[in-house]
Amino acid sequence: MIRNFILAALLCAGFTAAAPAAAQTYPNHAIRVILPFTAGGTTDFLARISAKALTEQLGQPVVVDNRPGAGGNLGSDLVAKAAPDGYTLGFFPASNLVQNPFLMSVPFDPLNDFTPVFNLGHGPQFIIVPSSLQVKTLKEFIALAKSKPNQLNYASAGNGSSPHIAGDYFARLAGVQMVHVPYKGVSAAIPDLVAGRVQMLSVSLQPVRPQIESGELRALALAADKRMPALPDVPTTIEAGLPEYQVTTWFGFLAPRGTDDRIVQILNRQLQKFLEQPETARQLADAGVVPIGGSSATFAALLKADYKRWEGIIRASGIKLE
């Protein structure tokens, strides 16, 4: 019995020592970053420039693996169920973890199946209208919508998409009645918005930047607490008179639950270095993304706060996906 006890103790000591050793030698082979969407778009772009920087800084390949499906849930679930060894990470927009669970059944627990690593940045949404619409400010648009109940349309990227949730939230906060017009993606909605067939879209900067710069579309307000340097003349919704309307999508790295904190901190430090480079700031600005960074603990707190906030907003909207 004594011999068995000693063997058990030695085995436990071996397993205990294995974790620190793995952290000390991390990384010693390729790292996979799962992206739960197809290639292209803001999320994919941010994942790839981050992976390139990590490859250079860590001395090991960091490869983006696009795993679309089930509204982003397929890729998210792959990360949740991966080994917590630091060699499988996920790069997600906020919607995967703080909106999807209230729209549909998801096979993972957003708050307990992941370890937040690094919050790269966030893309605030703008309230966009066609320039042909005779309004110049958010207050004028709200007044017009109130004078024409159910006669103005807001576009979205589809039922349950972030622009859909945002548009519904805007209408409820502003006290207006508008008609939701879903499209198969934001790009499909833009021609109708330019033509004035739909009158509003709440969306991040990148998809509509060319039309704003050409004068075809007008940004009435930014749904954030600070103006964006890319469009410094556009007021925030706080300045424009609808302070509660704050809609931003963060983009962050997460690891499976149980990932060694030393590995998390290695990744966090390297990503912070990447974020502080002038070229990174330029790339993010071009994509309409505001850098955030900071500790993994701060990111974890944000995830919890956003989860609670969007739960209330989505449940009040009644939006649901089958």
Look up tokens 């390297």; give the residue.
270
Crossing angle of the two packed helices 138-147 and 162-174, in degrees rounded to 10: 80
Pairing of strands 114-124, 62-66: unpaired
Query: Span 27-122+249-317: which CATH code?
Result: 3.40.190.150
Look at residues 65, 49, 67 and name the one whose alpha carbon lies nearest to residue 57.
49
265-279 mean pLDDT: 97
Phi then psi for residue 138, to 5 deg, are: -65, -40
Q: Which residues pair with 253 in a beta bridge?
A: 91, 118
Instruction: Tell me whether domains 27-122+249-317 and 126-240 share a fold.
Output: yes
The answer to whether 255 touches 264, Cβ cutoff 8 Å, is yes
**The pLDDT of residue 15 is above 70:** no
Q: For residue 8, what are its two tokens?
A: 């058990």
Average pLDDT of the segment spanning 201-224? 96
pLDDT tens, position by position, 150-200: 999 999 999 999 999 999 999 999 999 999 999 998 999 999 999 999 999
Class of the 126-240 domain?
alpha beta
> What global pTM score does this model have?
0.88
Backbone angles phi, psi at 155, to 5 degrees: -90, 160
What letter does residue 213 receive in the DSSP assignment? H
102 three-state secondary structure: helix
**Is 322's pLDDT higher than 80?**
no
Element (H, E) at 254: strand 248-256
- Measured from the Cβ of residue 34, the count of other Cβ atoms closer than 10 Å reads 23
pLDDT in tens, 70-89: 888 999 999 999 999 999 99
Assign 216 to helix, strand or coil: coil
**Distance between CA 101 and CA 43 in Å, rounded?**
19
Query: What is the percent of the chain where pLDDT is above 70?
Result: 93
Instruction: Name the pLDDT band for 321 (thresholds 50, 70, 90).
Output: confident
Closest C-alpha to 119, from 281, 303, 278: 303
| Helical residues (DSSP H) of the chain, grouped into ranges | 2-24, 42-58, 73-80, 94-98, 138-147, 162-174, 186-195, 205-214, 237-240, 261-275, 278-286, 296-317
Q: Are residues 220 and 138 in contact, defined by beta-carbon separation less than 8 angstroms?
A: yes
What residue spans define the domains of the chain? 27-122+249-317, 126-240
Q: Is the per-residue pLDDT at 234 higher than 60?
A: yes
